[in-house]
Amino acid sequence: MTSAVPVIDVHELTKVFGKKTVVDKVSLSVNEGEIYGFLGPNGSGKTTTIRMLCGLLRPDGGKGTCLGHDVLSESELIKPHVGYMAQRFSLYGDLSVRENLEFMARMYGVADRRRAVNDTMERMNLAGFAATLAGNLSGGWKQRLALAACMIHSPRLLLLDEPTAGVDPTARRDFWDEVHKLAGQGITALISTHYMDEAERCHRLAYIAYGKLLTTGTAAEIVARENLATWEISGPGLYALIDGLRALPGVEQVVAFGVTLHVSGRDAAALEAHLPPFLAGRATAVRIASSLEEVFISLMRGTRP
Amino acid sequence: MTRLFSPSRFAAMVAKEFVQMRRDRLTFGMMVGIPLLQLILFGYAINSDPKHLPTAVLDNDRSVFSRTVLAGMKNSQYFEFVEEVEGEKRVEELLRLGRIQFVVTIPPDFGRDLVRGQRPVLLLEADATDPSATSNAAASMQQIVRGTMNRDLTGPLAPLQSREGPVELRFHPRYNPEAVTQFNIVPGLMGVVLTMTLVIITSLAITRERERGTMENLLITPVRPLEVLLGKLVPYILVGYIQMALIVVAARYLFEVPFLGSLPLLFAVSFLFIAANLGVGITFSTVAQNQLQAVQMSFFFFLPSILLSGFMFPFRGMPEWAQYLGSVLPLTHFLRIVRGVVLKGNGLADIAPHLWPIALFLVASLGIGVKRYRQTLD
């Protein structure tokens, strides 16, 4: 379902703010029609990378193309075909929903403006809010409007920077359905997120921490590559066990998951050998498949600066 | 139950304000440095008793007595002779263009009539559009004439030192014969109001986009800097014209200021002035980090505009360096244009010398604005 022509193809993109290297030699390749998840902790350089891709920031190093145009010198050619949604709501709060969309449509020189605005509002269920001031919309509807605004000019590439941050689960689900529908039409999307359930809805993922790209691939590939073995521990008084678990040979991380603990390590044999004796009589351990979350936490530990 | 007034909560509030104040470097600098700068600038520049006012001389007598009068005027330091003219026509021209403040006319046979005790007429004409610029000099004239004449009128001429003086001094304040302050202030206000409102409004224009986060959204679109900057200016040009129209109507019907020149001409040339102010605002807008800073910068521009332009204090009363500084400001030139058109009936040719400095300022300010406008978030 994906063609071989990469929509985003950048190599060793680097951005330095003052003395701090915020993005350090990040290379990405995103194919047409792909939903590409961009993950990483806060301050890892996701936003900066996305901004470099669409010309909002000038890279200090690296090269590459976005939609076939040079990211360093041809951002004017890239902009008209990119839909960008900033992390912070960045439409005009004192303009109505319709006015905001019309403004964006005019900025991009959309041919049949009235129709484009009406169609977009229809599709995003915004018609009922046409005359509402954008500033008065609730978080979920603001995000919906922002998505509508970045699609008004039928872009070929969507760059969405944490589009679902602070949005309720229903609105998030609707949002992802919409993104998949767009992908079906051949639109490529690069979406940064913190949510693991969202990461699993992406075709491919990239994980970035402290400015460095740690891994890329499908969720399954990434999990398999890390080769992490995980046990789920359940029982009463689990928190008292955490320090003890961490000291066991082979244990690389202990993470609280609701009422259970997830204990992971690459050395499955060591864990197998030491976990049951330690827990005997106090809790039970069941081996489970490692999830993306454990893998990402493990990845991040390995690169702490 | 919490106390109505907790000293520790109050202290925390005060401490937080201080920390925030210190973090905003520019604001902090403006609070401390600007008053000092202004004190020095305006303290030395402003002088409500202007001296060395440019004066033209039309001496039809050229006698020892006429030279005495002129020497006395010069010694008073109020008058500085810049040109000796031959005829009335040149006098009119100089006054109309605002090149001179005074013209002193000495009639033919001034010396002869003086000796005969016929009290010849000494005529002092003034460009009195700004009454405060001329009043002191004019008032001192009587004293000067009497003082200098009496020194020459000795021996057999001593009886001429009569009570009413040997010479009849006539003072003609031109353009504003009754010295109505409003005639000078109200047209000037046109420029002041435009400067104040337009610079502040536009200085907020881009700063607001940045502060609200909408700049990011704007920058991602294919929009070009000039489109953004001009697009933000145009609505305010209209606002500027509405303000002008209001003041013109008020000047006419509330203050009964005579309007001698062409209204369409005034409105046409005001375009430059309005645009120049908007250019400054836009430039501030690209520099300021937040809206507070933008407003402060506007005031930093507004204060010298009001004090060094000749609006409140006579331009010619200022020291030379302050006059140079004032000459940079568009308001200085616009005031001359407005007063010229309204009170003197100046035409385009008369005001042309004041147009190009405004145009130059416009190009510079808008140029800096465009150059400083970043197309990226870097």
* Confidence (pLDDT) at A305: 53
> Does B6 reside within a domain?
no
Q: How far is CA B32 from CA B22, B38, B39, B186, in A?
A: 11, 11, 12, 34
- B216 touches A at CB < 8 Å: yes
Q: How does the average pLDDT of chain A come out, rounded? A: 90
Q: Are residues B311 and B352 in the same domain?
A: yes
> Does B22 reside within a domain?
no
Q: Please give the structure tokens belonging to residue B126.
A: 């003034």
Q: Contact at 8 Å (CB) between B270 and B244?
A: yes
Q: Contact at 8 Å (CB) between B316 and B132?
A: no
Residue A160 burial (10 A CB sphere; 0-12, 13-18, 19+): buried
Q: What does chain B come to in residues?
A: 378
Strands A212-217, A157-161: pairing kind = unpaired
Q: Which residues of B9-41 are buried (b: 16+ CB within 10 A; e: fewer)?
A: eeeeeeeeeeeeeeeeeebeebeeeeeeeeeeb
Task: For B111-144, give the DSSP string.
Answer: HHHHHTT---EEEEEEETTSHHHHHHHHHHHHHH
CA distance A300 to A292: 12
Interchain CB distance below 8 Å, A56 and B216: yes
Interchain CB distance below 8 Å, A82 and B223: no
Q: Are residues B168 and B188 in the same domain?
A: no
* Confidence (pLDDT) at B20: 87
Q: Which of A57, A92, A149 sits opposite B377 (nearest CB)?
A: A57
Q: Which amino acid does the sequence have at A236? A: P
* Confidence (pLDDT) at A2: 43
Which of chain A's residues have a Cβ under 8 Å away from the Cβ of B215?
90
CA distance B194 to B271: 11
CA distance A102 to A215: 40
Q: For residue A273, give the 3-state DSSP assignment.
A: helix
Strands A82-85, A69-70: pairing kind = unpaired
Q: Contact at 8 Å (CB) between A205 and A214?
A: no
Q: How far is CA A246 from CA A242, A262, A272, A274, in A?
A: 6, 11, 15, 12
Q: How many CA atoms lie within 13 A of A161 on its CB side?
A: 25
CB atoms closer than 10 angstroms to residue B292: 15
Which of A56, A94, A153 should be substituted to probe chain B, the one whose Cβ sees the most B Cβ atoms within 10 Å? A56
Q: Are residues B281 and B212 in the same domain?
A: yes
Using the 3D structure, point to which of B142, B174, B206 is the last residue of a domain: B174
Q: Could you please state the CATH topology (level 3) that the domain comprising A6-222 is classified under.
A: Rossmann fold (3.40.50)
Q: Are residues B62 and B195 in the same domain?
A: no
Strands A35-39, A188-193: pairing kind = parallel
Comparing alpha-carbon positions, the chain B residue that sits nearest to A135 is: B212
Domain with CATH 3.30.70 in chain A: 229-289
pTM for this predicted structure:
0.80
The CATH code of the domain that includes B103 is: 3.40.1710.10
Q: What is the 8-class DSSP label of residue B171?
A: E
pLDDT at A52 over 70: yes
> Does B208 reside within a domain?
yes
Which of chain B's residues have a Cβ under 8 Å away from the Cβ of A80?
222
Which of chain A's residues have a Cβ under 8 Å away from the Cβ of B222?
76, 79-80, 107-109
CA distance B76 to A157: 79
Distance from CA of B102 to the nearest CA of A (A): 56
CA distance B285 to B278: 10
> Does B27 reside within a domain?
no
Residue B343: domain span: 181-372
The neighbouring-strand residues paired with A20 are A17
CA distance A39 to A198: 10
Q: For residue A55, give the 3-state DSSP assignment.
A: coil
Domain with CATH 3.40.50.300 in chain A: 6-222
How many Cβ contacts (< 8 angstroms) between chains A and B? 50
Sign of the C-alpha dihedral, residues B32, B33, B38, B43? positive
Q: Are residues B202 and B343 in the same domain?
A: yes
Q: For residue A222, give the 3-state DSSP assignment.
A: helix
Interchain CB distance below 8 Å, B216 and A90: yes
CA distance B237 to B245: 12
Q: Are residues B239 and B338 in the same domain?
A: yes
Strands A229-234, A212-217: pairing kind = unpaired
Distance from CA of A276 to the nearest CA of B (A): 53
Place of tokens 């409007």: A145
Which of B218, B220, B232, B377 should be substituted to probe chain A, the one whose Cβ sees the most A Cβ atoms within 10 Å? B220
B265 against A257, higher pLDDT: B265
Inter-helix orientation angle B263-287/B181-212, to 10°: 40
Read off the pLDDT of residues A102-134 as tens digits, 9 standing for 90 and up: 999 999 999 999 999 999 999 888 999 999 999
Using the 3D structure, point to which of B159, B174, B189 is the last residue of a domain: B174
Right CATH number for A229-289 from 3.30.70, 1.10.357, 2.40.160, 3.30.750? 3.30.70
Q: Are residues B142 and B203 in the same domain?
A: no
Q: How much is the ipTM here? A: 0.82
CA distance B209 to B216: 8
CB atoms closer than 10 angstroms to residue B99: 14
Q: Are residues B314 and B200 in the same domain?
A: yes
Using the 3D structure, point to which of B119, B148, B174 is the last residue of a domain: B174
> Does B16 reside within a domain?
no
Q: Contact at 8 Å (CB) between A288 and A255?
A: no
> Does B128 reside within a domain?
yes
Interchain CB distance below 8 Å, B216 and A86: yes
Q: Are residues B262 and B152 in the same domain?
A: no
For B346, residues 6+ apart whose C-beta sits below 8 A from its C-beta are B96, B261, B337, B340
pLDDT tens, N- to C-terminus, chain B (378 residues)? 577 888 888 999 999 998 988 888 877 887 787 788 888 888 888 888 888 899 999 999 888 888 888 998 999 889 999 888 888 888 888 888 888 999 999 999 988 888 888 888 999 999 988 888 888 888 888 888 888 877 777 777 777 666 667 888 899 888 888 878 888 888 889 999 999 989 998 898 889 988 888 988 898 999 888 888 888 888 999 999 999 999 999 998 998 888 889 999 999 999 999 999 999 998 998 888 888 889 988 988 998 898 889 888 888 888 889 999 999 999 999 999 999 999 988 999 999 999 999 999 999 998 888 888 877 777
CA distance A22 to A15: 6
CB atoms closer than 10 angstroms to residue B312: 14
pLDDT band at A1 (very low <50, low <70, confident <90, very high): very low
The count of domains in chain B is 2
CA distance A97 to A146: 10
Read off the pLDDT of residues A289-298 as tens digits, 9 standing for 90 and up: 998 888 988 8
> Does B40 reside within a domain?
no
Q: Are residues B228 and B348 in the same domain?
A: yes
> Does B138 reside within a domain?
yes
CB atoms closer than 10 angstroms to residue B234: 9
Read off the pLDDT of residues A201-236 as tens digits, 9 standing for 90 and up: 999 999 998 899 999 999 999 999 888 999 999 988
Distance of CA B25 to the CA centre of its chain: 32
Sign of the C-alpha dihedral, residues B39, B42, B47, B52? positive
Q: Are residues B156 and B197 in the same domain?
A: no
Q: Are residues B109 and B198 in the same domain?
A: no
| Averaged pLDDT, A53-79 | 91
* Confidence (pLDDT) at B303: 87
* Confidence (pLDDT) at A155: 94
Q: Contact at 8 Å (CB) between A87 and A162?
A: yes
